[in-house]
Structure 1
Amino acid sequence: MYSLLTGPVFYLSLGVCIIGMIVRFYQYFNGLSWQLDRVAYKEYPAMGFKGAVRSIYKWLIPYGTYGWRAQPVMAAAFFGFHVGAVLLPLFLIGHNVFLKEKLGFSLFFNLSTPVADYLSWIALISLFFLILRRLVLPEVRILTDRKDWGILLISMAPFITGMLARYQVGDYSFWLTAHILTGEIVLLAIPFTKLSHVFLFFASRAQLGMDFGIKRGGLKGSKMAW
């Protein structure tokens, strides 16, 4: 089972994720209206680029926008989870060793074990608050369906199995195998679910930043990050 998951299934899930997201990016930009969007973007490329960059980096900064500041607890939980969800898969030393073995390269930076543990706990606690938010707030609960709960479970599983393997709770080999399997399920799910926002966030924020930066106040000198 381990050999299967770290061999053919890994390459399959990674390939599906990459190809699927290329298709999603194409569909996103191909779906823009040439009358409403592309003409304006081509006419004012500098303003559009400025608006796109501003929108992306402001929304990547905790409390960098009015939207984040209006919901401080939500923002803290959001960043607490997403920082771990991005940094741990990319820079955990065990993951980089795996990448080197399977793909022939590793990333330039590794997280130390204490930092990785800290990020893992912060991510799990933050995810708990995000789940609690969906249960408690009626305006969020009414918009939450089974697919959303499924995505939350898929997102949570690699953290839980990874922590159980890390602290060797019970059978280490079982939890390591489960961790690899749940990680590959995430890769497979990304192009077909809301998890695609991992990548499409940059496309949507850039497009919104260009749109508002050119057509909806940006040319008047507004510094708001849409």
Structure 2
Amino acid sequence: MYDFVSGPLAWLSFIIFFVGIIYRIIWYVRGLDWQMDRVAYRPHRKYGIKGAARSIFYWLLPFGTRSWRYYPSFTIMVFVFHFGLLFSPLFLPAHNIMLEQAVGFGLPTISESAADVLTILVILAAVFIIMRRIALPEVRILTKPYDFLVLAIAVAPFITGFLAYHQVGNYRVMLTAHILCGEIMLVAIPFTKLSHFVLFFMSRAQLGMDYGIKRGGMKNAKGMTW
């Protein structure tokens, strides 16, 4: 079971992940329509790129936007969650050993203790997000079981990885479960809300171009094409 999960199934998961993400990006870009969106993307590309970069930058900056500043505790947890979700798997020593064995190179690594801290922070942040969705009426009314499922898919690799590393229970079983959970997450990313790790940049760029061209960046310009 372990050999299959860590071998052919892992490669299949990565293929589905990369092909799915590329498809989502192409589908998003092809769906843009300047007549429908009322944004002249091509004729005013300079202003659009400036607006897109500004939008992405400030939304990636903790408390960089009014929305982030309005909910400070939620903002902190969201950034902690996403930071750990991204950096822990990428720079974990064990993952990079496997990467080097597979493709011949690896990334810089963090210490095991740092990985433990990031893992615990991810789990705690996920608990906070779940409690917030349950406790706040304005969030609860928008929450569906699907949202909890997506969150569980994202957190499961961290829980199983933490248990496997600290050898809680049967190590082989827990390690297999960890790899399988990671593969489920990879496959789920292109088809669920988890795709926002890429589509976030697409949507923020689009909105930034909208504001940069139409709603301020070119308010004094002449010869608008819409």
Q: Same fold (TM over 0.5)?
A: yes
2:163 and 2:174 in contact (8 A); partners too? yes
2:200 is aligned to 201
1:81 and 1:123 in contact (8 A); partners too? yes
Question: For residues 57 and 91 of structure 1, what CA distance do their matches in structure 2 show?
Answer: 23
**Post-superposition offset of 1:215:** 0.6
1:69 is aligned to 69
RMSD: 1.5
2:39 and 2:213 in contact (8 A); partners too? no
Question: For residues 34 and 46 of structure 2, what CA distance do their matches in structure 1 show?
Answer: 18
Letter of the 2:115 counterpart: A
1:155 is aligned to 154
Task: Give the 5 Å matches for 1:45-64.
Answer: 45-64=45-64
1:169 is aligned to 168
Question: For residues 11 and 102 of structure 2, what CA distance do their matches in structure 1 show?
Answer: 9
**Post-superposition offset of 1:39:** 6.1
Letter of the 1:125 counterpart: L
Question: For residues 97 and 38 of structure 1, what CA distance do their matches in structure 2 show?
Answer: 49
Question: For residues 219 and 128 of structure 2, what CA distance do their matches in structure 1 show?
Answer: 39
Task: Give the 5 Å matches for 1:1-226.
Answer: 1-37=1-37, 40-107=40-107, 109-220=108-219
Question: For residues 162 and 111 of structure 2, what CA distance do their matches in structure 1 show?
Answer: 15
3-state DSSP of counterpart to 2:13: helix
Question: For residues 106 and 46 of structure 1, what CA distance do their matches in structure 2 show?
Answer: 37
Question: For residues 90 and 59 of structure 2, what CA distance do their matches in structure 1 show?
Answer: 21
Letter of the 1:135 counterpart: I
Letter of the 1:111 counterpart: I
Flag structure 2 segments of 5+ consecutive residues without an equivalent.
221-226
Question: For residues 139 and 55 of structure 2, what CA distance do their matches in structure 1 show?
Answer: 24
Aligned residues: 220
Question: For residues 52 and 132 of structure 2, what CA distance do their matches in structure 1 show?
Answer: 30
Question: For residues 140 and 184 of structure 1, what CA distance do their matches in structure 2 show?
Answer: 29
2:62 and 2:75 in contact (8 A); partners too? yes
Question: For residues 217 and 162 of structure 2, what CA distance do their matches in structure 1 show?
Answer: 46
**Post-superposition offset of 1:7:** 0.8
**Post-superposition offset of 1:34:** 3.2
Work out the percentage of aligned pairs sharing the same amino acid.
53
TM-score by length of 2: 0.93
TM-score by length of 1: 0.93
Question: For residues 41 and 47 of structure 1, what CA distance do their matches in structure 2 show?
Answer: 9
Letter of the 2:7 counterpart: G
**Post-superposition offset of 1:57:** 1.4
Question: For residues 26 and 133 of structure 2, what CA distance do their matches in structure 1 show?
Answer: 32
3-state DSSP of counterpart to 1:169: coil
Show CA shifts across 1:38-90 (max 9, x none). 86111211111111111111111111111100110110110111000000111
